[in-house]
Amino acid sequence: MAQNKLFAQLNWVVALGGMMAPFAIAAAHADTVVKIGFSSPLSGPQAHYGKDNENATKMAIDDINAKGLVVGGQKIKFELVSEDDQADPRIGTQAAQRLVDAGVKAVIGHFNSGVSIPASRIYSDAGIPQLSVSTNPAYTQQGYKTTFRLVGSDSQVGGALGQFAVKTLKAKSIVAIDDRTAYGQGIADEFVKAVTANGGKVARREFTTDKATDFTSILTAVKAVNPDVIFYGGADAQAAPMAKQLKRLGLKARLMGGDMMNTPTFLQLAGADAAGHYSAVPGGVLNARPAGKAFETRYKARFHQDVVLLGPQFYDGVMLVAEAMKQAGSVEPAKYLPKLAAIRYSGVTADFAFTANGNLQKAPVTLSVVKNNAWTVESVVR
């Protein structure tokens, strides 16, 4: 009896082991989930930029997960943690803290300089790499080792526009207006510097807010200097009504702006009054890149819309993080951060390499003009 009981116990153990073995094997091969943070304005007047960024970030994560990412011998699955910063610095810092608390291993964002700059300290304190399209030079001038810029800075964009206004358009009377955000004021400052450096002169400097849509009083005031060029530092939602009001007031000035003006939204809102106005984008021509055209085609097929602006850079940001993790053999920021800082990577939008303070090396700037209700490339400068 005792012997039969012993055999029964042994059979139960063997059976239990056989049942548990598949679970043990499955556990050994289970994907390690790595959270990737994202933040941009997903509501409010700048939501079209933010959704574009989020779409492209999702594409990158899906592409990586579909292909399979192995880091240090372990299969990795990326999981997106998305936050709406509403283009507001206060809300943005709260979003940044939530991403840190969620345990993300990298942050792709934010979109606005005024949000990225205060948020960057939170990520730096947590040791989490932040890859942003924010263009204000101050973003990478804080001494943080965790900040990386995926595009050129306002110094390059504003500089290219200022030189173009003086040397190519031969503008004699120039006015600069900005919306007082970190982005708007920053790029306008760089434009003014470049105008002066190229022998031009800014006749008037004005400012408004990023919520305004009626610029009649400002434009009436600057009409006295008969401007050839009016530079606007701000978003498309303000630049478009400004273009229409220029026409209505009889001003013949060319409107110029940075990347936030170079969107389908500006064309839609300004209509026929968009013709002849200029913008510059911190980046090259997407469909001139080997993978750029394919990205555009896939993006449109999936989201049923064209790329809005800098979504492709967000896509590249995720890919850079994945590549740095692979090179380091670790998903931990402290271990893969040095690889990210030293990376050489051919992406959808650029050949990526960073300076010591996190700026993109050899960053191109594309100048465009509106012709036939479309942004048409004038030139690419580096």
Q: What residue type is assigned to position 259 of the chain?
A: D
pLDDT reported for residue 69: 97
Tell me the average pLDDT of the chain: 93
CATH topology identical between 32-151+286-362 and 154-281: yes
pTM above 0.85, yes or no: yes
Q: Which fold has domain 154-281?
A: Rossmann fold (3.40.50)
Least reliable range by pLDDT among 6-15, 172-181, 317-326, 344-353: 6-15
359 φ/ψ angles, rounded to the nearest 5 degrees: -80, 150
- Going from N- to C-terminal start, the domains of the chain cover 32-151+286-362, 154-281
In this predicted structure, the answer to whether residue 205 has a pLDDT above a threshold of 50 is yes
CATH class of the domain whose range is 32-151+286-362: alpha beta
Least reliable range by pLDDT among 1-5, 131-135, 174-178, 229-233: 1-5
Summarised one tens digit per residue, pLDDT across range 249-268 is 999 999 999 999 999 999 99
Summarised one tens digit per residue, pLDDT across range 118-139 is 999 999 999 999 999 999 999 9
Summarised one tens digit per residue, pLDDT across range 68-83 is 999 999 999 999 999 9
334 φ/ψ angles, rounded to the nearest 5 degrees: -60, -30
Q: What residue type is assigned to position 95 of the chain?
A: A
Are 182 and 117 in contact by the 8 Å Cβ rule? The answer is: yes
Q: Using a pLDDT cut of 70, give the percent of the chain over it.
A: 92
Rounded Cα distance between 350 and 288, Å, is 10
Are 263 and 308 in contact by the 8 Å Cβ rule? The answer is: yes
Beta-carbon contacts of 218 under 8 Å, excluding residues fewer than 6 positions away, are 177, 206, 208
Going by C-alpha positions, the residue among 101, 363, 99 that lies closest to residue 110 is 99
Q: Using a pLDDT cut of 90, give the percent of the chain over it.
A: 90
Going by C-alpha positions, the residue among 49, 77, 106 that lies closest to residue 258 is 49
Q: Can you say how many angstroms the Cα of residue 326 is from the centroid of all Cα atoms in its chain? A: 23
Summarised one tens digit per residue, pLDDT across range 337-371 is 999 999 999 999 999 999 999 999 999 999 999 99
Summarised one tens digit per residue, pLDDT across range 9-37 is 434 433 444 444 444 444 445 689 999 99
For 101-104, which contacts have Cβ atoms below 8 Å and span 24 or more sequence positions? 102/35, 102/37, 103/35, 104/35, 104/36, 104/37, 104/128
pLDDT reported for residue 29: 55
